[in-house]
Amino acid sequence: MPSRDPINWMWAEACQLLNQAERLQRQFFRLDYPRGARVAWQPPVDVFEDEREFVVVVALPGVSPGNAEAKIDGRTLLIRAMRRVSLQDRLCSIERLEIPHGYFERRLVLPQIRLELDSQQWSDGCLVLTIRKIR
């Protein structure tokens, strides 16, 4: 039977919400081990489609535009880059490190139609890819 003490109830609710937030963070920034020895992380993506194209928005905080590569290989969109730890050149201790860093690859399976990577733009820490459908 649950406690009727409001302080205990609020504390239990707060702990449950924190656990849920941590699960969501792990879901969006999964750590994986690719075929090689390097540790990789997978950034979250949003994918939009209309009759002419797909738009893929990849959240890449702290990744320099020149360090990211995106290409279509068969039916797979491959996005990869390296995110360096910010302030790595300063002598300081790390108190908290939640934003993933290091090498990453993200692969998205595309539909079986002819596609062409049309443009790559950076907007607010996101790589925005436009993939044109070829008719």
Its pTM stands at 0.68
Neighbouring C-alpha atoms within 13 Å toward the C-beta of 62: 15
Q: Which residues, other chains included, contact 2 with Cβ-Cβ below 8 Å and sequence gap of 6+?
A: 9
Tens digits of per-residue pLDDT, 88-103? 667 877 787 777 878 8
Burial (CB < 10 A; 0-12, 13-18, 19+), residue 101, is middle
Tens digits of per-residue pLDDT, 2-34? 557 877 888 888 888 887 777 666 555 554 444
The total of other beta-carbon atoms located within 10 Å of residue 110's CB is 17
**How far does CA 17 lie from the centroid of its chain?**
22
